[in-house]
Amino acid sequence: MTVRSLALQSIQYCTSPAAVERAAASVVAAAETLRRERPAVSQLSWRIGDCSPEPVLHAAAVARLRAQVGAAGVRLEHRVFGTNHGPSRGHNLLWEEFGAADALFLMAPDLVLAPDSLLELLRLLDDPAVAGVEARQIPPLHPPRLGSYDAPASWIGGACSMLRGSAFSAVGGYDADTFFLYHNDVDLSWRLRDAGWTLRASAHAVVFHDKRPDRDGRFALGPAARQAATLGWLSCLHVWGRADAVATLRARIEAAASGTRDRSADADAAADAAADAAADAAADRAALADFDARLAAGALRALRRSAVIDAGLREHPLGGLS
């Protein structure tokens, strides 16, 4: 595939301006590498959609950013939405407003690209059967994949993946009506695979995702994020016709105790663990109530069962609900 246009898209929500500056410096380096190695890529753009209550970047900062990336041949497009559309609708709106490109790189706003990352992703996208390629995140934010890197993948994450523009358009982009935030990328991946495309995870396209672990070394979600993640997974299982998995997850949520005993000799650690478990259980119950309300209102996409997805479900960290 000869890529002549590449659009990077980032959706911000209260992103640190310092993180945007780091991201911009890495975009410049990656763009310079790409132009040197793939001169056919003559149109590079970075589209930023800000969903924050107050803009992350004001006019002067946007002007500086535009000049910084423009020096590397990257056109900056910046939109303040004025409302929290979430990444699903936000990415769709940017794609519609600024037009399709041969390739689309979905880029978390706090991502730092290795200089050759875009180049490595494009190399795998050269395969006409491939619709999308995920970069390798450092640190890894989800459990290891069952298959090796560069092998076909069941799904790719939305924080650092490059998609064939025509494939993204063909499936209608993200399902923003069903997925506000979490697991929108899994659903998009499965719709691409169900349409006959292949997905890959690159071993050599490396990015740094600026996330901080908790005291136990885990990338734990806060209550709001936990609720959104559980709602997203329930919705994903539902629209792909896995009533059995939805029932299993429902039973676990309903049976979860409001607090979990910890036999640790450290009373403070036990209290903290119990508080964390209670917060998780409350968030999961809220997600289940939201899911049931959306289900009753007919707000979820029509069910579709796919043998391709049933097989690939085993490759998702939550697939077995273990």
Cα separation, 212 vs 218, in Å, equals 9
Beta strand 111-113 with 160-164 is unpaired
Is the per-residue pLDDT at 318 higher than 80?
no
* 198 Cβ contact partners less than 8 Å away, ≥ 6 residues apart: 127, 129, 130, 131, 152
3-class DSSP state of 8: strand
Cα separation, 110 vs 231, in Å, equals 24
Cα separation, 234 vs 252, in Å, equals 12
* Better pLDDT: 180 or 256: 180
* 112 Cβ contact partners less than 8 Å away, ≥ 6 residues apart: 22, 23, 26, 207, 208, 209, 210
Give the pLDDT band of residue 322 (cuts 50, 70, 90).
Answer: very low
Task: Give me the percent of the chain exceeding a pLDDT of 70.
Answer: 86
> Is-contact 49 96, C-beta < 8 A?
no
Is the per-residue pLDDT at 261 higher than 50?
no
Give the pLDDT band of residue 219 (cuts 50, 70, 90).
Answer: low
Q: What is the mean pLDDT of the chain?
A: 89
Beta strand 130-138 with 43-50 is unpaired
The per-residue pLDDT for range 20-68, each reduced to its tens digit, is 999 999 999 999 999 999 999 999 999 999 999 999 999 999 999 999 9
Task: Give me the percent of the chain exceeding a pLDDT of 90.
Answer: 74
Instruction: Determine which helix (DSSP H) or strand (DSSP E) holds 75, and give its type and residue range.
Output: strand 74-80
Mean pLDDT of 212-227: 74
The per-residue pLDDT for range 57-85, each reduced to its tens digit, is 999 999 999 999 999 999 999 999 999 99
- Nearest by Cα to 252 from 182, 183, 321, 319: 321
Amino acid making up residue 81: F
Mean pLDDT of 223-235: 93
Domain annotation for the chain: domains and CATH numbers: 5-209 (3.90.550.60), 223-315 (no CATH)
Residue 217, Ramachandran bin (φ over 0: left; ψ between -120 and 50: alpha; else beta): left
The per-residue pLDDT for range 86-145, each reduced to its tens digit, is 999 999 999 999 999 999 999 999 999 999 999 999 999 999 999 999 999 988 766 656
